[in-house]
């Protein structure tokens, strides 16, 4: 039985358990108003949390001050899922500040007070993060890339935060500019498909999933981001005959054909539909080849003409 172990990826200890915590519409407390607190505050508000920030107004970073001044955040909304910020202008007051909180983040200079807050949270089993004090953190933050619905977190488990930032920048440079729009496009296509093919039987569900997969795999992320109402309709027209149309199937105009002929969109070296055509080795090398060929012909012709 122990030979079976070889079939599966080996356990590689030393990782973190990276998770997407559900803080939407839940109350979270930020203690402190400096630069670190500003980052915590953004992360919580982006995740639609109901944030209370406790810090003396004499001690606010410009970013925290600007969030507090932002009426779209501080005016209570009757709609659900709207992030909100309640500001309390004083130092942390004790246990009463933890009432109803589902998460607590402290970013203050007073180490003793931080430790006491951490202890109170742990007694109440409220997840807590004390900035810069790892043993007092139930969780850490990492370097995040955000593109609309897409989030990418880069973590080195604290071993190389600067490298984490470099990896983050490298990823940012690699992502198609509108990858967030690509994800929104897929979402819209899926919901439109459900209107066209609304069967709830197993066969229809499976055919829908299969068709969506085949369509998505024919489009690069950059192409998906460009999918507008017209293209979506043409793609959906393929459903009846179970045809999965790609980007060039619905954009076969003159420009499309020219681009296609130049090799954009069908670079043989790309191993995924998501290579950037402008960085495609085939396109680059062949452009270089044509340029060099021309230069060679012109130069040699000129030189040989002089010789003769």
Residues 8-67 that bind a second copy (CB under 8 A): 8-9, 11-23, 38, 42-49, 62-63, 65-67
Catalytic option among 132, 177, 210, 217: 132
Residues sharing a CB contact under 8 Å with residue 155, sequence separation 6 or more, in sequence order: 16, 18, 140, 142, 143, 164
User: In this structure, how many other beta carbons lie within 10 angstroms of the beta carbon of residue 93?
Assistant: 10
Kindly state the helix (H) or strand (E) to which residue 196 belongs, with its residue range.
helix 179-196
**Interface characters, 76-115, with a second copy (x: CB under 8 A):** -----xxx--------------------------------
177 is catalytic: no
Q: Which one of 57, 74, 174, 204 is in contact with a second copy (CB under 8 A)?
A: 174
**For 10, phi and psi rounded to 5 degrees?**
-65, 150
Q: At closest approach, how far in Å is the CB of 259 from a second copy?
A: 18
CA dist 128 and 139 (Å) reads 7
The site for a second copy, by CB under 8 A, has a size of 114
Contacts of a second copy in 284-303 (CB under 8 A): 284-301
If the CB atoms of residues 72 and 242 are measured against a second copy, the closer one turns out to be 72
Exposed/middle/buried for residue 137 (C-beta within 10 Å: 0-12, 13-18, 19+): middle
The span of 108-116, 141-149, 194-202, 234-242 binding a second copy (CB under 8 A) equals 141-149
Cα atoms in the Cβ-side hemisphere of radius 13 Å centred on 286: 14
Task: Kindly tell me the sign of the dihedral angle through the C-alpha atoms of 287, 291, 293, 294.
Answer: positive
Contacts of a second copy in 181-200 (CB under 8 A): 182-184, 186-187
Contacts of a second copy in 249-268 (CB under 8 A): none
CA dist 143 and 155 (Å) reads 7
If the CB atoms of residues 62 and 112 are measured against a second copy, the closer one turns out to be 62
Q: At closest approach, how far in Å is the CB of 46 from a second copy?
A: 4
What DSSP designation does 143 have? E
> Does the footprint of a second copy cover residue 120 (CB under 8 A)?
no
């Amino acid at each position: 039985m122990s030979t079976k172990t070889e079939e599966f990826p080996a356990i590689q200890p030393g990782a973190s358990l990276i998770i997407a915590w559900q803080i939407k519409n839940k109350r979270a407390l930020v203690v402190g108003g400096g630069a670190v607190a500003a980052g915590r505050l953004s992360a919580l508000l982006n995740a639609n949390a109901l944030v209370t920030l406790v810090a003396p107004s004499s001690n606010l970073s410009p970013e925290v001050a600007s969030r507090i001044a932002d009426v779209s955040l501080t005016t209570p909304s009757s709609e659900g899922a709207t992030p909100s910020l309640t500001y309390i202008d004083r130092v942390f007051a004790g246990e009463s500040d933890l009432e109803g909180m589902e998460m607590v983040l402290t970013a203050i200079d007073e180490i003793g007070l931080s430790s006491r807050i951490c202890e109170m949270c742990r007694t109440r089993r409220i997840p807590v993060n004390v900035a810069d004090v790892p043993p007092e953190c139930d969780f850490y933050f990492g370097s995040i890339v955000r593109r609309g619905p897409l989030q990418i977190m880069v973590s080195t488990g604290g071993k190389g935060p600067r490298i984490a930032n470099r990896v983050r920048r490298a990823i940012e440079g690699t992502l198609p500019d509108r990858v967030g729009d690509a994800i929104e496009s897929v979402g819209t296509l899926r919901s439109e498909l459900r209107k066209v093919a609304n069967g709830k039987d197993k066969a229809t569900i499976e055919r829908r999933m299969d068709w969506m997969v085949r369509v998505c795999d024919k489009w690069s992320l950059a192409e998906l981001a460009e999918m507008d109402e017209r293209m979506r309709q043409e793609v959906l027209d393929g459903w009846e005959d179970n045809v999965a149309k790609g980007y060039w199937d619905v954009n076969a105009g003159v420009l499309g054909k020219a681009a296609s002929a130049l090799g954009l969109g069908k670079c043989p070296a790309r191993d995924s539909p998501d290579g950037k055509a402008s960085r495609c080795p085939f396109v680059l090398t062949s452009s270089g080849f044509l340029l060099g060929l021309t230069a060679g012909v012109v130069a040699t012709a000129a030189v040989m003409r002089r010789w003769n």
